[in-house]
Amino acid sequence: MINKQVASAAEAVADLFDGATIMIGGFGEAGSPIELIHALIDQGARNLTAVNNNTGSGEVGLAALIKAGRVSRMICSYPRTANSTEFPKLYHRGAIQLDLVPQGTLAERIRAGGAGIPAFYTPTSLDTPLEKGKERRTINGRDYVLEYGLTADFAIIKGRVADTYGNVVYNMTARNFSPLMAMAGKITIVQAAEVVAPGGLDPEVIVTPGIFVNRVVEITHPAHESTLVAAGESYP
């Protein structure tokens, strides 16, 4: 019968491949699936395109993945956060590409990718340097730019509770991009602090229905990025 739970973060990311596009949940540290990212560092896939609002901080989580040289391209709205030191180093020596996307456009492109909408129009970025290369169109007297849906080979996200069907609920502002990335990932992998049997979540409050999720791993006490950074940790 259907059971999407896998035994470990390592098993969950075992088939990630070189050159994959990977969406990583989180806004700053809130919702960052640190244990899955660390498993991905151990796993070794290279030349990744990573999609995240930021670029991580310190030398753990996403920043550690970048430091390890595994990410060749970042799709991102705000790569300049407090304690973000690894991305700038690689960026300044030309070792990582940056696709800068306005935050709301990034969210909508991911949702569109997951929803089978190949492209949409938005007013965001009009008349700015980020309009460059985009098609412009006037609709009902106002100008808009064309943006394309974004999908990924993998999405790795963090939930609060998941069931073995893959239904997920989140914790406060750790929700952010994760439900969208779950829709847009061909393989979506969730780490949750608690994994329960089907029926353990109220069907009215599920944020990500299980159809969007392929694998669930229980990480009972996920680390907080800021705690690790404050402790001077680095991974591996």
Partner 1 sequence: MSEQKPTGGRTREEMARRLAQDIPDGAYVNLGIGIPELVAKFVPVGREFIYHTENGLLGMGPSPEPGTGDPELINAGKRQVTAIPGAAFFHHADSFAMIRGGHLDLCVLGALQVSQNGDLANWSTGATDAIPAVGGAMDLVAGVKSIYVITQHCTRNGEPKLVELCTFPLTGRGVVHRIYTDLAVIQITPAGFQVLELSPGVDFNQVQERTGAPLSPMADPPGVPKMT
β-bridge partners, 157: 190
In this chain, which of 98, 100, 115, 196 binds its own copies, going by CB under 8 A?
A: 115
As given in the structure block, the two tokens for residue 156 are 């790795």
Give 80 or 137: the residue with its C-beta nearer to its own copies.
137
d(CA 235, CA 7): 22
Residue 213's closest CA among 181, 176, 236?
A: 181
Least Å from the CB of residue 91 to partner 1:
6
Give 132 or 236: the residue with its C-beta nearer to partner 1.
132
Q: Residue 219 to residues 138, 180, 192: CA-CA distances in angstroms?
A: 49, 21, 6
Q: What residue has token string 């929803």?
A: 115
Give 38 or 111: the residue with its C-beta nearer to its own copies.
111
Q: How many residues bind its own copies (CB under 8 A)?
A: 24
Give 51 or 112: the residue with its C-beta nearer to its own copies.
112
Give 45 or 168: the residue with its C-beta nearer to its own copies.
168
Q: What part of residues 167-206 is at the interface with its own copies (CB under 8 A)?
A: 169-170, 172, 202-205
As given in the structure block, the two tokens for residue 118 are 């190949």
Burial 208-219 (b: 16+ CB within 10 A, else e): bebebbbbbbbb
Give 202 or 232: the residue with its C-beta nearer to its own copies.
202
Residue pair 192/216 in contact (Cβ under 8 Å)? The answer is: yes
Binding mask 120-149 for its own copies (x = CB under 8 A): xxxx-------------x-xx-x-x---x-
β-bridge partners, 217: 191
Least Å from the CB of residue 59 to partner 1:
18
Q: What part of residues 1-40 is at the interface with its own copies (CB under 8 A)?
A: none
Residue pair 161/168 in contact (Cβ under 8 Å)? The answer is: yes
Least Å from the CB of residue 58 to its own copies:
29
d(CA 215, CA 233): 28
Partner touching 179 among partner 1, its own copies, none, CB below 5 to 8 Å by kind: partner 1
Q: Residue 21 to residues 29, 112, 130, 212: CA-CA distances in angstroms?
A: 21, 16, 22, 17
Is 108 a residue that touches its own copies (CB under 8 A)?
A: yes
Give me the residues that bind its own copies (CB under 8 A), please: 108, 112, 115-123, 137, 139-140, 142, 144, 148, 169-170, 172, 202-205
